[in-house]
Every structure is written in structure tokens, then in C-alpha cells.
């Protein structure tokens, strides 16, 4: 029995959360810290990263902040030099430009791919290499329901999220024998800064709320459990997987309720 009580205990482990200043990254940092991890809260928004770390410390947790630009090729090296090789890496940042496929300019395409895919890839590669050399680690990246199902105006974003999933699967295949697990989390519609414009449109907000089985948007805190699970020993035999936290979005084909 005792071995099961500690399945989610992260005491003594270090976690690097990229994108920790807000949204899902903030929730992930708090969730990991609440289960005992020492969390490095990394973000381009240095003040926001400081606030997240300070909040964790105020609650009795262990945390520090790190200013980090995922677009900087040296970002992974800087993170490793500053804090050593983490036991857990969580990568959350992404951007989304909603445009018709025919109107997307090369510059927009490159900007989305550079952050969502290339920045994530570099962090996975360099931190993953350090984990593999040590012989242990858990990497958690964020895909999306858009890695599986699409809607007009999100073609490039969807492609990067499908790419992030395949990167996770590929690294899982290569690094598994070296003790490194790699998984993706696919959120549905979440109330974060990324979706702020949609939240401000009552019709759009309602349409999205009506799509998943649970009939509502998610809060960022509802993603924290999936992060803690994949980071912990509870997921010791889970790698190369995509965990949907989408309220049933991808399981439900519309909201019509027939008279049964």
C-alpha cells in the first residue's frame, strides 16, 4: 500500500516550466510545486515569471524565476547552465493567428512555426539530451485538439500542434531506453491569454462552450493534474502518448441530444 501513496510525490525533483507566467504554464508550475517539486518558472515575461515564483514561495513551495525567450536558440543552454538538468520539463508557449489559408503570408507562417514548433523542438532536444545522459527525465509538451481536429482559420497552428505531437512520439522512441519519458497533453478550449479574443466575443464563447461533452470551457488549473500525472511515478510506464484534456471535445460529434 505504501508504494501507491507516493505515486504523485515529486519531492526532491526539479521541474523547468517554460511559459510559467500565465495560463496553463502558471497552473502547471503551481501544480508541480504543490506536489513537492522545485520549480524553475521560465518565461519571456520576466515579471510574470517572478510573480509565479513568488506565489509558490508564499504558499511554502520551492521556486525561482528565469527570464527565457523560447525563440532564442541559446535558451535551452541558458536554462541548463542556470539550473542544471531538470527531472521534469514542461513546454507550454504557443501563438495562433486566425486567418484564411489563402491569406497566410510567409512571415506569419514562419512566426508561428518558429515558436510553436522550432522553439519547442530545441528545448526538447537540448534538455532531453541532458536527461538522456543522466539516465532519467520526463518531458511534457502541449499539443492541442487541433493536432487531431481542425476548423477554418487555424491551419498553421494545427500543423504545428500535430508536429509537436510527432516530435514527442519520436523523442519517446529514441530516448526510452535511456530513461526519458516524453508525452503530449492536448487541451480543448481553455480560458487563457491565447484565447482572450474569443472569450470577448459572446457568440464565439458560447459556441465553443457548447461543443465539448461537459458543455463549458476549461480553466487552466484543470490542466495541472495531467501535468503532475505525467511528471510523476504514477506515469512511469507512460511515454509517447497524447493525453486529451478536452472535456470530451474530440469524442462528441455535435451537441444534438436525440429523444432516447
Instruction: Enumerate residues 6+ apart whose C-beta is below 8 A from 256.
Output: none
b/e sequence 76-114, b meaning 16+ C-beta within 10 Å:
beebbeeeebbbbbbbbbbebeebeeeeeeeeebeebbe
Measured CA to CA, the distance from residue 255 to residue 260 in angstroms comes to 14
How far is it, in rounded angstroms, from Cα 57 to Cα 59? Answer: 5
Residues with catalytic function? 157
Using CA atoms, how far residue 83 sits from 104, 142, 163, 184, 245, in Å, is: 39, 22, 28, 24, 30
DSSP character string of 127-195? HHHHHHHHT-EEEEEE--GGGT---TT-HHHHHHHHHHHHHHHHHHHHHGGGTEEEEEEEE-SB-SGGG
DSSP character string of 11-42: TT-EEEEETTTSHHHHHHHHHHHHTT-EEEEE
Cell numbers placing 19: 511559459
Amino acid at each position: 500500500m505504501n508504494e501507491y501513496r507516493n505515486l504523485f510525490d515529486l519531492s526532491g525533483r526539479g521541474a523547468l516550466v517554460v511559459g510559467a507566467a500565465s495560463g496553463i504554464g502558471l497552473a502547471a508550475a503551481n501544480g508541480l510545486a504543490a506536489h513537492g517539486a522545485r520549480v524553475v518558472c521560465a518565461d519571456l515575461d520576466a515579471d510574470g515569471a517572478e510573480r509565479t515564483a513568488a506565489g509558490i514561495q508564499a504558499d511554502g513551495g520551492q521556486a525561482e524565476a528565469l527570464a527565457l525567450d523560447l525563440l532564442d536558440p541559446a535558451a535551452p543552454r541558458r536554462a541548463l547552465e542556470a539550473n542544471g538538468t531538470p527531472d521534469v520539463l514542461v513546454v507550454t508557449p504557443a501563438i495562433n493567428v486566425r486567418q484564411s489559408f489563402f491569406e497566410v503570408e510567409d512571415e506569419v507562417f514562419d512566426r508561428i512555426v518558429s515558436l510553436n514548433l522550432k522553439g519547442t523542438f530545441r528545448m526538447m532536444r537540448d534538455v532531453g539530451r541532458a536527461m538522456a545522459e543522466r539516465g532519467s527525465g520526463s518531458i511534457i509538451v502541449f499539443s492541442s485538439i487541433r493536432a487531431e481536429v481542425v476548423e477554418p482559420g487555424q491551419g498553421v497552428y494545427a500543423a504545428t500542434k500535430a508536429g509537436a505531437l510527432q516530435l514527442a512520439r519520436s523523442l519517446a522512441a529514441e530516448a526510452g531506453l535511456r530513461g526519458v519519458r516524453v508525452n503530449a497533453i492536448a487541451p480543448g478550449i481553455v480560458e487563457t491569454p491565447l484565447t482572450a479574443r474569443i472569450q470577448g466575443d459572446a457568440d464565439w464563447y458560447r459556441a465553443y462552450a457548447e461543443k465539448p461533452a461537459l458543455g463549458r470551457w476549461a480553466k487552466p488549473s484543470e490542466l495541472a493534474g495531467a501535468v503532475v500525472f505525467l511528471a510523476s511515478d504514477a506515469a512511469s510506464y507512460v511515454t509517447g502518448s497524447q493525453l486529451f484534456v478536452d472535456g470530451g471535445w474530440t469524442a462528441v460529434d455535435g451537441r444534438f441530444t436525440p429523444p432516447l
